[in-house]
A = this chain, B = another copy of it.
């Protein structure tokens, strides 16, 4: 992912040192699923001094800005997914690991009618897996 500065600016976020470094960790490789803890550890490993609060603030801001998708599969911990395409997830329970399901590999037919007065804002499908 090039031009992280542009990406942040487009999202309405200032290009601070911490945000740029975290964006680099998040968006420069392939698609990723991270928790605050994972990202914090990675930042420190890469010599970036960021506080936990900034990790949380940044993840939430990126999420609000539409740069990350939040995935809730475990109680007490949030995952953030850099893959913004319409897709769903396998969740390996023993390993606390998420795996993307390619959109062409799943088809949801006959979604139920949305109750009157409401509008759908998203559909999450989670297939929970365990080791055989």
User: Do A129 and B125 contact each other (CB < 8 Å), given the known contacts A106-B110, A107-B110?
Assistant: no
Contact check, A128 vs B122: say whether CB atoms are below 8 A apart: yes
Asked if A127 and B120 sit within 8 Å, CB to CB, the answer is yes
Give every chain B residue within 8 A of A122 (Cβ-Cβ): 127-128
Is A47 located at the chain interface by the 8 A CB criterion? no
Q: Give the residues in chain B near A101, CB-CB below 8 Å.
A: 112
Say which residue of B70, B106, B131 sits within 8 Å of A117 (CB atoms).
B131
Contacts of A121 in B (CB 8 A): 93, 128-130
Please determine whether B109 and A108 come into contact, CB atoms closer than 8 angstroms. yes
Interface: A1 (CB within 8 A):
no
